Amino acid sequence: MGTDQIPPRQFMIIVILYAIGTAILVIPASVAADTKQDAWMPQMVSIALGVVLVWLYFFISKKFPTCSIFEINDTVFGKWLGKFITLGLALLTLIFSSQVVFYVGQFMTTQIIQETPIQSIHILFMLIVVMGAKLGMVVLLRTAEIFFPWIVLLFILFMVITIFYLLGK
């Protein structure tokens, strides 16, 4: 496993892209079903919590500039508790990654390409993830950097069209 360092700018971009993807795929259906007209409130709370987490990650990376997250856990929490926390992080990463694959497949088959089996979308998406993992984090982050302005532009366009649609009702 490589020890690539993620620059703060690229970390910010990957966090923003993850938040945008979650806002498009997850938030509208699940949160709006429960909160109705107050759906903006949980979104604002989650953005605030995300900013706090990014600040925390940034602070920890400055305090331990040469350590990985696993080494930081061992240093801060001790050998046994650090290993337990690292295992928990690894399991949460696996669960969240599988959720993202599910959400992408569900979104694609219900909104864009209805005739395509969901398994083919999952296989295609996982092949892209495996290719990104094989090529390394640097390639993945540079690709995110290239697509970032376009995705933000499309997200803003999506939000403006949605607002105009809701105002027209």
Quick: pLDDT tens for 50-77: 778 878 877 887 888 888 888 888 888 9
Please give the pLDDT value at position 104.
84
Q: What confidence category does residue 149 fall into, taking pLDDT thresholds of 50, 70 and 90?
A: very high
Q: Supply the pLDDT for residue 26.
A: 66
Backbone angles phi, psi at 168, to 5 degrees: -80, -15
Which stretch of 32-36, 41-45, 82-86, 95-99 has the lowest confidence by average pLDDT? Answer: 32-36
Assigned domain for 127 exists:
yes
- Of 148, 145, 143, 147, the C-alpha closest to 133 is 143
- Residue 121 belongs to some domain of the structure: yes
41 falls within a domain: no
* pLDDT for the residue numbered 83: 93
Candidates 22, 60, 59, 61; CA nearest to 42 is 22
- DSSP state at residue 169: -
For 18-40, what is the mean pLDDT? Answer: 68
Domain count, the chain: 1
Query: What would you report as the CA-atom Rg of the chain, rounded to the nearest whole angstrom?
Result: 19
Residue 35 domain-assigned (yes or no): no
Q: Is residue 3 part of a domain?
A: no
Mean pLDDT on 102-107: 85
Percent of the chain with pLDDT over 70: 85
pLDDT at residue 114 in the model? 87
Tell me, yes or no, whether 96 lies in a domain.
yes
Q: Can you give the residue range of the structural domain that contains 151? A: 8-29+57-168
